Amino acid sequence: MQDNYGSRKIIHIDMDAFYAAVEELDNPLLRGKPIAVGRSVQERGVLSTANYEARKYGVHSAMSTAEALQLCPHLVVVPGHFERYHSISRWLQNLYATYTDIVEPIALDECYLDVTKKGSAKLIAKELKYRIKMELGLTASVGVSCNKLIAKIASDYKKPNGYFVVQPNEIPKFIYNVRLKDINGVGKETIRKVERLNLGTTCGDLQRLSIIQMTDIFGSYGQRLYYFIRGFDDREVISNREHKSIGAENTFLSDIYDIETLIQELTPILEEIIERATESNTNWKTITIKVKYIDFVQITRSRSFNTFRSTIDIIEIEDIVLNSKIEFYRGIRLAGLTLSNFKSDINQLKLTL
């Protein structure tokens, strides 16, 4: 697999108490209080996350709201605003894109960046933290190293508002004390095996095993784990920007048989996707209309433009519909619009807060 730590520069960035932090940002009355995002006890809610104030009481993600309120009776539980979290996530993606094309989002609030060819990774990491704080009002924790595995552990190391760098020559010492459960891909099943066999709790503990023993115990994952517990990781940061699209659709209360009604129904859908594209400063070349007839047969029609666009008028949508040979007599139960073929205008990075 690999015999040295290589010379890549990888940043892992993870927002602190993401949903809860956004709620505090949007509602100053919540600041300083223990808060969590989730549904109420009456709705048999489970928490998505809790801020660090609430975590002092033992409150955490995936805990039932009822249990959390027992641990922390003055916990403020607020409902989630997922469209808002998505929009901030898109803003973050655009920010990262101004530093490198190689960006791999792994959750709404979590991303890997490969900045090998982009100068000082430490400076970029610090600047990202600073800009997220100044321009957005949120804190992020950032880890810098030469691979994904160590960068991710490093970003967690000083959470919240963390910044931690692990140089390649520091990896053997650093990884030795890392708990096995903090290694990428180690789940409950692996931990159960390790406990049953009394192998220890840290990466250092497991380093006593040979690669053959590791494969015997952990199956196909054993070989990868053998390298991970030594801090080796050759996984690439895989950018998925090119796969992105912005779309919305609606199933109608009553079926549609004429173009006027269809255009009327497509108007708010168009407004929504244009708003989302504007928010994330995304320019695009292709718009796609999807229509599902009442017999569930579905068609899509796309129009691509020669230049990147930021908006489109409903009149143009009508023109696309007119040229799409939509068979209105069949009855339409659902229609949607999708923008794709993106370019992000990195010079106009902005989010209306």
Closest C-alpha among 256, 284, 271 to residue 343: 284
Asked whether position 109 contacts ligand TTP by CB under 6 A, the answer is yes
- Nearest approach in angstroms of CB 237 to Mg ion is 18
- In the list ligand TTP, Mg ion, none, the entry touching 62 (Cβ below 5 to 8 angstroms by class) is ligand TTP
Total site size for ligand TTP, rule CB under 6 A: 15
Q: What three-state secondary structure class fits 298?
A: strand
Binding-site partner at residue 61 among Mg ion, ligand TTP, none, CB < 5 to 8 Å by type: ligand TTP
Phi, psi dihedral angles at 316 (to 5 degrees): -65, -35
14 is an interface residue for Mg ion by CB under 5 A: yes
61 touching ligand TTP, by CB under 6 A: yes
Interface with Mg ion includes 104 (CB under 5 A)?
A: no
| SS3 category, 168 | helix
Instruction: Say how far apart CA 220 and CA 223 lie, in whole Å.
Output: 7
How far apart are CB 37 and ligand TTP at their closest, in Å?
A: 7
Helix (H) or strand (E) holding 110: strand 110-114
Kindly tell me which residue out of 6, 160, 168, 200 binds ligand TTP, with binding defined by CB under 6 A: 160
Look at residue 341 and give its three-state secondary structure.
Answer: strand
Q: Specify whether 110 is catalytic.
A: yes
Q: How would DSSP label each residue in 194-260?
A: HHHTT--SBHHHHTTS-HHHHHHHHTTHHHHHHHHTTT---PPP---GGG--EEEEEEEEEEE-SHH
Question: Catalytic pick from 110, 127, 316, 318?
Answer: 110
Name residue 242's amino acid.
E
**Token pair of 191 as six digits:** 């931990």
Q: Does 15 bind ligand TTP (CB under 6 A)?
A: yes
> Which tokens belong to 257?
């048989």
Among 9, 34, 35, 48, binds ligand TTP (CB under 6 A): 48
Window of 14-22, 111-119, 285-293, 296-304 that interacts with ligand TTP by CB under 6 A: 14-22
DSSP three-state, residue 82: helix
Tell me the C-alpha to C-alpha distance, in Å, between residue 92 and each of 96, 120, 207. 6, 20, 38
Among the listed residues 19, 96, 164, 218, the single contact to ligand TTP using CB under 6 A = 19
Out of Mg ion, ligand TTP, none, what residue 53 binds, judged by CB under 5 to 8 A for its kind, is none
Q: Which stretch binds ligand TTP (CB under 6 A): 8-16, 261-269, 296-304, 313-321?
A: 8-16
With binding defined as CB under 6 A, does residue 159 bind ligand TTP? yes
Residues within the interface to ligand TTP (CB under 6 A) = 14-19, 48-49, 61-62, 107, 109-110, 159-160
Catalytic positions, written as ranges: 110
Tell me which residues touch Mg ion (CB under 5 A).
14-15, 18, 109
